[in-house]
Amino acid sequence: MHIESLHIQHFKSFQDVMIDFNADVNIFTGKNNSGKTTVLEAIALWQECFAKLLNQAKVGREGKKATPYKKGDYILGNTGNKYFPFDEINSIRSPNFSDIFYQKESNKPIQLSAVLVDDDTSLEIGFEIKSSGSNYVITLIGYGRYDFEAFNNFFQNFPSPIGIIYTSPVSAIQQIENFTTQPNIQEITLKRESASVLRNRLYAVYRNSDASLYPNFLSSLNYILFDNQAKLDFLIDSDIQKDTRVLINFQIGRNDTPKDIALLGSGSLQVVEILLSLYYRDNRDMNLLLLDEPDSHIHRDIQKRLLKVITDFSRGNQIFLTTHNEALIRESVPRHLFHLENKPTNHYKPLNSEALVQLEKTGGKRSFKGIYPLQTNSIMRSIGNSTGLDFINAIEADRIIFVEGDDDAQAIYTLLQKATIPPTRTKYVFWVLNGISNVFKEIEMYKTLFSQIKNERSLWEKSVLIMDRDFLSDEHYPLIRQKMTEKFLPTYITSAYTLESTLLTDLKLAANLLQLWLKDKEIDSNTDDIEARLTMEYYACKGVIESRLENSLSINETVQRYRAVREKTDALFGSNNHHPIRHNDIALTTHYQDHLKRCLQEETLFKLTNKHDVERVINATLVPSGITFEIDKDFIDVLKNAAPGRWFSEWDFLKLLVK
């Protein structure tokens, strides 16, 4: 069971907002004051209205003007149960009575209407909140005609069919915590003060009748915090039957001195708080987990693992979280994301309509353009845009490196850190142009702009361009590199088809890097054996490439790309005798076919193998190791084992970028 949609009217910054939710994970992002927390509060307030109005009918109801229900049926409110003082509304933070109304106009009632779905059955439940003196008047929308028979059939776990936990960032917990009752814990949690009973909740997980619950909790905790490279244990030294205080210590590793849990770092406390929200719950028809900025105080690598665990828990829970952390957003599945725009009226849907259609057209890869934030950047970009602070980073950088894609930026940055011992302290900023077509289309504009911005040197004077060779022939790619360098900026193009393909330019070195990569994964292997299999699979790839040569459609597509490069660079280099690609359309097909044949004859296959060919060759090589190599994920990890003694000549140009 889950909330399919929520219609919010006249609540805080929302005048009329509709949100279509996912059944599993919903991540709300946007700039400050865009309404992220307001969404969570609207959900929490809707649930609180549900809980406050829910009761069993003492007598039945019949009548032509009203929908009937029987004595003992569960209903939502009645005429005598609708007035609630200001201080009894716990799910939202509002210093003043009128703060919960849109523009503080308490004469316009709030309406929160949710559509719930369970398999093929749906049910709408809406509440109206008016003001009356210092009281809020909460009623079920359409109470007189509401179908309570359908309502009672829809839920199975009365009197508490809906569970909800609302957590906010935790930087510290109180030094002393007394044991408290389960109802009190639930009330405190609803008030968004769950951290104040963190020890009680941890104790409840520890003493749960399900013997697997606490070990699973610890397993998730140590995976998130340490990637299972270290172990945190809790020492629970109190008994609810004998003691008034909850005493819990922690230690990391057997040799660590036990310390009170209050001394855990803020990031670790935040993870414990979130995991308790996932593990500490009762059996309900619907469990709602509201996580306000769960990434606060947490390192980027921990955020990635936390998101994985949260997503795993969405099988039994509907999860709503807010963030403006770009690292977390990049790790998220696009359909889980909602981008809020600080508008009083809107209809928000997950990024799975037009956005996902476009993603599918590009192979499911999220496109990126602009200043790419690497590990050295102290200030993250705001969502979807480069900020002025990022531009300051570019001004202060030693090198600005233009690349085609963000995967190129990651790979090149990794290699630059391995080019020298000790690693270079040169400060790099990568500018992602998002595709080869944009390189040729926009480079002249960047030259004009960057030549005018100076800090000792102009931005353009410290800029370089690194491109993939792709399909360009042995004749054309050095000429384009030369022309780009002469007219615009230092340009580097490897002789291999892509940066990933450089692994196939020296099979002995590649085997050494793969052996170290396997060693990092605690898989025993022999470099000579890897080299032998890699060599065999590399030359076996010749058949795949020959089939492309026989495929006229594939040839025509590549020639069309060739023509596009020529046309896009006409304005840059000039046509006719000044352009590196002088072949006409007919001659271009013959030229490319000759290039393919020459590479096959000379067995310089790395000039033709794209990154998917590289993935195929490496996977075939690693069959005896029983591991799968994913080029988009594992290529960077392989490069982390590079060093001056394990360096491809194809990468030598990078040493020129080290200050």
2-22+34-159 CATH, one of 1.10.10, 3.40.50, 2.40.50, 1.10.1200:
3.40.50
- Residue 375: per-residue pLDDT: 38
Q: What's the topology of domain 165-332?
A: Rossmann fold (3.40.50)
C-beta separation of 517 from 634 below 8 A: yes
Question: Would the pLDDT of 23 be above 80?
Answer: yes
Domains 2-22+34-159 and 165-332 are alike in CATH topology: yes
CA distance 143 to 256: 60
H-state helical runs in 430-475 = 436-450
Mean pLDDT check: name the lowest of 67-76, 279-288, 519-528: 279-288
Domain boundaries, the chain: 2-22+34-159, 165-332, 369-493
Mean pLDDT check: name the lowest of 58-67, 296-305, 386-395: 386-395
Tokens of 47: 């649930």
> Predicted confidence band at 629 (pLDDT cuts at 50, 70, 90)?
very high
Mean pLDDT of 411-424: 87
Backbone angles phi, psi at 61, to 5 degrees: -135, 130
Higher per-residue confidence, 627 vs 277: 627
Instruction: Give which of 644, 638, 645, 631 is closest to 416, Cα–Cα.
Output: 644
Strand-strand pairing, 399-403 and 463-467: parallel
Question: Would the pLDDT of 570 be above 50?
Answer: yes
Mean pLDDT of 526-555: 87
- Residue 330: per-residue pLDDT: 61
**What digits encode the pLDDT tens for the residues 359-407?**
334 444 445 566 665 533 332 343 444 444 456 667 778 899 999 988 8
Higher per-residue confidence, 428 vs 394: 428
3-state secondary structure of 23: coil
C-beta separation of 217 from 197 below 8 A: no
Mean pLDDT of 123-152: 93
Q: Is there a cis peptide before residue 85, judged by omega within 30 degrees of 0?
A: no
Amino acid at 326: E
Mean pLDDT check: name the lowest of 50-64, 88-102, 107-121, 351-365: 351-365
Mean pLDDT of 105-131: 94
Instruction: Give which of 327, 361, 407 is closest to 632, Cα–Cα.
Output: 407
Mean pLDDT of 169-194: 84
- Residue 363: per-residue pLDDT: 40
Mean pLDDT of the chain: 85
Which range of 69-78, 296-305, 547-556 scores highest in mean pLDDT? It is 69-78
- Residue 388: per-residue pLDDT: 44
Higher per-residue confidence, 114 vs 194: 114
- Residue 367: per-residue pLDDT: 52
CA distance 143 to 126: 10
- Residue 64: per-residue pLDDT: 62
CA distance 274 to 256: 24
E strand spans, 443-544: 454-455, 457-458, 463-467, 491-493
- Residue 79: per-residue pLDDT: 59
Question: Would the pLDDT of 531 be above 70?
Answer: yes
Q: How far is CA 545 from CA 100, 608, 631, in A?
A: 65, 7, 19
Mean pLDDT of 479-486: 91
Question: Would the pLDDT of 333 be above 90?
Answer: no
Place of tokens 């969570």: 40
- Residue 297: per-residue pLDDT: 67
CA distance 234 to 203: 10
Which range of 183-192, 319-328, 330-339, 469-478 scores highest in mean pLDDT? It is 469-478
Instruction: Give which of 277, 288, 281, 280 is closest to 1, Cα–Cα.
Output: 288
Question: Would the pLDDT of 259 be above 90?
Answer: yes
Higher per-residue confidence, 42 vs 397: 42
CA distance 27 to 151: 29
Instruction: Give which of 442, 432, 438, 403 is closest to 564, Cα–Cα.
Output: 438
- Residue 362: per-residue pLDDT: 41
C-beta separation of 157 from 285 below 8 A: yes
Which range of 82-91, 200-209, 541-550 scores highest in mean pLDDT? It is 200-209
Terminal-to-terminal C-alpha distance of the chain: 58
- Residue 33: per-residue pLDDT: 82
CA distance 638 to 18: 46
Place of tokens 């919903």: 26
Mean pLDDT of 618-633: 93
3-state secondary structure of 524: coil
Question: What is the model's pTM?
Answer: 0.57
How many CA atoms lie less than 13 Å away from 573 in the CB half-sphere? 23
3-state secondary structure of 346: strand
Mean pLDDT of 31-55: 91
**What digits encode the pLDDT tens for the residues 339-359?**
888 889 999 988 754 443 343
